[in-house]
Chain A
Amino acid sequence: MLTNILPLIPIMLPFFMAVIMLLVGKRPVKHRAIAAIGGLILIIVSAYQVFFVYQNGMYVTYIGGWEPPFGITVVIDMVAAILVLTTSIIVFFITVFSFQSIGEPREKYYFYAMVMVMLTGINGAFLTGDIFNMFVFFEVFLLSSYILITLGGEKLQLPEGFKYVLINLVSSNFFVLGLAYLYSVTGTLNMADMQMKIASYEGDTTGLTIVAIVFLLVFATKAGMFPLYSWLPNSYAAPPVPILALFGALLTKVGIYAIARTFSLFFVDNVEFTSTIILVLAVLTIISGCIGALAYLDMKKVIIYNIIIAVGVILVGFAIMDAAGSIGAMYYLIHDMLIKAALFLLIGVIIFRTGETNSERLGGLIKVHPVLGWTFFIAGLSLAGVPPLSGFYGKLFIVESALDNQMFIAAIVVLLSSLVVLYSIMRVFMNVFWGEDMDFDRLKDVKMDKMMFSAISLVVIAVVFGLSADFLYPLFEMAAQSFYDPASYSSYLLEVQ
């Protein structure tokens, strides 16, 4: 019953890197070096973990040697392993991107340290097997996100940051309240133990459905679901692009992961009710995201509303929660994390080069930046899910499972949303890269090789992910099993008892 160190590395390593950064002084060069080296180590470790889980199945450690269900467990199933790997890759490339874009004042005030603390919280939320521990890790990454969103203290950032903090404070308090209810109903906090207790309970479970709605309220706020997404677009648009990319690619996805995890493990008794609610809200989320994506010409806003569309699409898959739906949602989740980060970085390059966020005021940039333009084009196609790029497989499975379950409206909305995504992103592409030439003298003379490197690398990774989807299918099938067959998640408890 020894505590195994390997599963804890994705949590501990970023934390220690942050501590070291706080100790070595304010010189940005040191922070950059630590962040980059640590990020690389993290990618290697989490890739090894994916391989390890694929070979040996689920991987569990009991912190301090306390046996479950009493101690805190760290559970690496395939879902957590894949998500941690994706998160590490994205954070590494965004830190490299920040070297040239975030600016020295922010770097001096511990930007990289905060990113690493946020990474600690996100990885912890993915890996933990204890629901209260998940709340703690949520608070860890939210606290650092409060600092990141207001870091720099620009006039736009402060009120938007306050709004963001307030919304998340309220929903975190509801999280505690939901935990209180859940604990009083089940008498345990270990997620696997809770699943087994609820599955074997014969009596009335109306109380659990109420708890389910409290949890849905909490995670829907964090994930940006209809009707609780209204804080998201303005708050996300306030900080500079690297921070926006981190938030857009990672934070909403943790909320989605939490919805999928809790609703697959705990709230399984009244599935007709809960899955219908999630499905309806997901469809409405897609529709409202589409309206936003069509309404704006501001590049940041278009992509931010595309986040909301993607949240809806993923949740359609998780609401149905059968084999095909879960596999599709997992594919789409990973695809969306990668491609959203890539797109934010691409528009980040454009914004830093031109100083404009409104795509209408730009034009003809393809003559100056052909590589950037065509990369953006491929990323746009991939976002919309044009086969064989990465968005296609997720949508294929999600639509297939929606049709299998006679949810025609959801399937149609998901399909139509692809058209809206394609239109909105191609409109940005045509405005920025084609069309009438802008005044090229206005372009700022900035160094951008590292920015281009990380943006293009992420697009390449997303494309490779799409092309190798067939090869990766066993991993995703294994991951989806945790959702549609929750007993497989809690099977590790049987070995202990």
Chain B
Amino acid sequence: MELITIILAGILMGAAAYLMLSKNLIRIIFGTAIFSHGVHLMFLTMGELKRGAVPVLDENVEAYADPLPQALILTAIVIAFALTAIILVLALRIYKELGTNDIEKMKGDPYAD
């Protein structure tokens, strides 16, 4: 089970790298979102899946799944959500201001004019 999720995390990160290397702003943003999904999946795997019962305190249960990574991922997901929101707004503003979503066309000498 761990192996499958680790491979899945790797695939997600690879896809993210592909998307982030493209020239379209929206693709880049999707890339960052998928990248954070891959990272979070990896984090989840680090808590060891399927080790025991759910992490609820109970005298009869002795083997728990580690609850801490799950709590940490929740924080990380919220942060990733905020970052995606802000970068989307930024992309919208860039599109309105510069009239393009192709990063190649944003280049040029900024001090020229």
Task: List A residues at the B interface (Cβ < 8 Å).
Answer: 132, 135-136, 139, 143, 146-147, 150, 153, 155-156, 158-159, 161-162, 165-166, 169-170, 172-174, 176-177, 179-181, 183-184, 189, 238
Task: List B residues at the A interface (Cβ < 8 Å).
Answer: 20, 25, 28, 32, 35-36, 39-40, 42-43, 46-47, 68-69, 72, 75-76, 79-80, 82-83, 86-87, 90-91, 93-94, 97-98, 103, 106, 110
- What chain A residues lie within 8 Å of B28 (beta carbons)? 166
Chain A facing B: main interface SS:
helix
**Closest chain A CB from B13 CB (angstroms):** 9
Q: Are B76 and A176 in touch, CB under 8 angstroms?
A: yes
Q: B46's contact among A158, A181, A189, by CB below 8 Å, is which?
A: A181
Q: Are A169 and B97 in touch, CB under 8 angstroms?
A: no
5 nearest A-B pairs in the assembled complex, by CB-CB distance: A184-B46, A180-B43, A159-B106, A180-B46, A156-B110
Q: Are A176 and B86 in touch, CB under 8 angstroms?
A: no
Q: Are B79 and A166 in touch, CB under 8 angstroms?
A: no
Q: Are A143 and B91 in touch, CB under 8 angstroms?
A: no
**Closest chain A CB from B10 CB (angstroms):** 11
The total of interchain contacts (Cβ-Cβ below 8 angstroms) comes to: 86
Given A173-B35, A180-B42 in contact, is the A153-B97 Cβ separation under 8 Å?
Answer: yes
**Closest chain A CB from B67 CB (angstroms):** 12
- Complex alpha-carbon distance, A219 and B20, angstroms: 21
Q: Are A170 and B43 in touch, CB under 8 angstroms?
A: no
Given A155-B97, A169-B32, A183-B68 in contact, is the A176-B39 Cβ separation under 8 Å?
Answer: yes
Q: Are A143 and B82 in touch, CB under 8 angstroms?
A: yes
- What chain A residues lie within 8 Å of B32 (beta carbons)? 166, 169-170, 173
Which single residue of chain B is at the shortest CB-CB distance from A70?
B68
- What chain A residues lie within 8 Å of B72 (beta carbons)? 132, 179, 183, 189
- What chain A residues lie within 8 Å of B75 (beta carbons)? 132, 136
Q: Are A143 and B98 in touch, CB under 8 angstroms?
A: no
- What chain B residues lie within 8 Å of A135 (beta carbons)? 76
- What chain B residues lie within 8 Å of A184 (beta carbons)? 46-47
